[in-house]
Structure 1
Amino acid sequence: TQRIQVILIMIPGAGYLWYKGFRFSDLQWVSRNSFQQAISAMSTAQTRLDKFVSEFRDAVQKKLAEFQSNVSTMFGAVEKQIDEKVGDVRVGVAGAQMTLDGLDTRVQRLEGKLDESNNSIQYANRGIQLLCSVVAESVSGSSRSVKQLQDFAQSSPASLEAPPAVPLL
């Protein structure tokens, strides 16, 4: 009775497997038919995978080329802007350098003129001091103006002190 129950269960299962294309030999070992079907299925899957990988690679290469083009364009624009700004700065620095050179020249000329003026003032002061001495010696007496002239000549500030002897004509 148990055998009959097992046979009754196996008959519909075997029928279903036969209907789906399986044979009894497929359950025990690989048959030629099932092996060819497996190879065919794997070949089809490999073809689809190759096609997908190829399409994916092409899409990635296209996107990468677009990205590189955009980066190159943006880099060129930024580089151009930087070059323009550096050029502007160079022009500004050159202008400032020229202005500084001009100011330096003017300061040197002013220093020369100040030195000349200082020498002229010292020369004039020495002449006035000598003139006061001559007048004080030529005037005899004890008049009040003579006394003031002598006091003035003796109390002259350092700038009025006699510079090194300057020959008079």
Structure 2
Amino acid sequence: LLVKGLEKSGEQAEGEGEYADAIAAQVRRLANEVRQITSSRPITVLNGGSGQSNLSSLVAPAAALGALGYGYMWWKGISFSDLMYVTKRNMEKAVADLTKKLQHASDVIADAKKHLTQRIQNLDDKMLKQNELARSIKDEVAGVRSTITNFHDDLGLLQQTVETLDERLATLSSKQDYANYGLAYLIDFVHGKSRKMPEILQEQPKLSGKSPNLLTYQGTPNLKGLKDIVETLSIGLDRSASDAIMPDGMDKLEQKRRPLL
């Protein structure tokens, strides 16, 4: 049957007649050899099967099938390496898939590394900006502190100036009071009103020796000069005053008698 099939396939093939005839001849020769081998050996029929008889009965068909299979493979041009093609292709495919997966994993790792590098760089930039901002804030705080210190010094100088002005105003007020009391006493004395000299007039005002326009007197205060001035004024008034003029003079003196403050 195999030979007949080969002959039919050889007749149907175009351009492969000689090649098919050669294969068919070789297959016929192999079939004849198989027949000779099987016919040359005696066939023993055993009653009661045994393992060896079963094995020997299977050897001949197995050999015939092996020879026919080898002939068919040789006719088709198939080798044992070709039988491993499927496995080899699967292995190559698996290796290619694994290579692709490894390449993808490598790309993912590279992208993650690049992303992390960018984030680290951004973080470094932010840290530098924060350091610069902190440095500028520190400089501004130092400047404000210096300004506050200068302002405090200015306030201290202003306070000293105000205290000095207060002392000067107090001195001026005391001198004004002294002048008012003296003028009032002088007017009363001119009017002939005798009264005790105020205590403030009995004490000489204390003048500072540092003033270039004022002279200080270290001796005992003398009130005779004031009395002499009053007596001179009295004599002048007695000589030139009349009964009519005297009230006018008194009115003028009364008008002048008013506090200077």
Query: What TM-score results when the alignment is normalised by the length of structure 2?
Result: 0.42
Inter-partner Cα distance in structure 1 for 2:246 and 2:137: 79
> What letter matches 1:75 in structure 2?
Q
Residue in structure 1 matching 2:105, options 50, 70, 73: 50
Q: 5 Å matches for 1:29-40? A: 40=95
Distance 1:143 1:35, change over 3 A: farther
> What letter matches 2:181 in structure 1?
R
Indicate yes or no: 2:119 matched with 1:64: yes
Indicate yes or no: 2:249 matched with 1:148: yes
Inter-partner Cα distance in structure 1 for 2:243 and 2:94: 146
Higher radius of gyration, 1 or 2:
2
**What is the root-mean-square deviation in Å for CA atoms of aligned residues?**
3.0
Distance 1:121 1:146, change over 3 A: farther
Q: Which moved more, 1:78-87 or 1:32-41?
A: 32-41
Offset from partner CA, 1:77-131 (integer Å, 9 cap, x none): 2221221122112111111110111111111220121022112101211111111
Inter-partner Cα distance in structure 1 for 2:116 and 2:183: 98
- Cα deviation for residue 62 of structure 1 reads 1.4
Query: What TM-score results when the alignment is normalised by the length of structure 1?
Result: 0.61
Number of the residue aligned with 2:183 = 128
> What letter matches 2:143 in structure 1?
D
Number of positions where the alignment pairs a residue of Structure 1 with one of Structure 2 = 130
Q: 5 Å matches for 1:85-100? A: 85-100=140-155
Inter-partner Cα distance in structure 2 for 1:153 and 1:70: 90
Inter-partner Cα distance in structure 2 for 1:79 and 1:145: 89
Distance 1:147 1:134, change over 3 A: farther
- Cα deviation for residue 149 of structure 1 reads 4.2
Distance 1:36 1:152, change over 3 A: farther
Inter-partner Cα distance in structure 2 for 1:32 and 1:143: 160
Offset from partner CA, 1:9-61 (integer Å, 9 cap, x none): xxxxxxxxxxxxxxxxxxxxxx9899877755553333222111110111112
Inter-partner Cα distance in structure 1 for 2:169 and 2:113: 82
SS at match of 1:71: helix
- Cα deviation for residue 158 of structure 1 reads 4.7
Number of the residue aligned with 1:20 = none
Inter-partner Cα distance in structure 2 for 1:134 and 1:72: 91
Note the residue ranges of structure 1 that are not aligned, 5 or more in a row: 1-30, 161-169
SS at match of 1:72: helix
Note the residue ranges of structure 2 that are not aligned, 5 or more in a row: 1-85, 194-233
Percent identity (aligned): 15
Residue in structure 1 matching 2:170, options 96, 115, 118: 115
Select the structure with the greater relative contact order (CA < 8 A; seq sep ≥ 6): 1
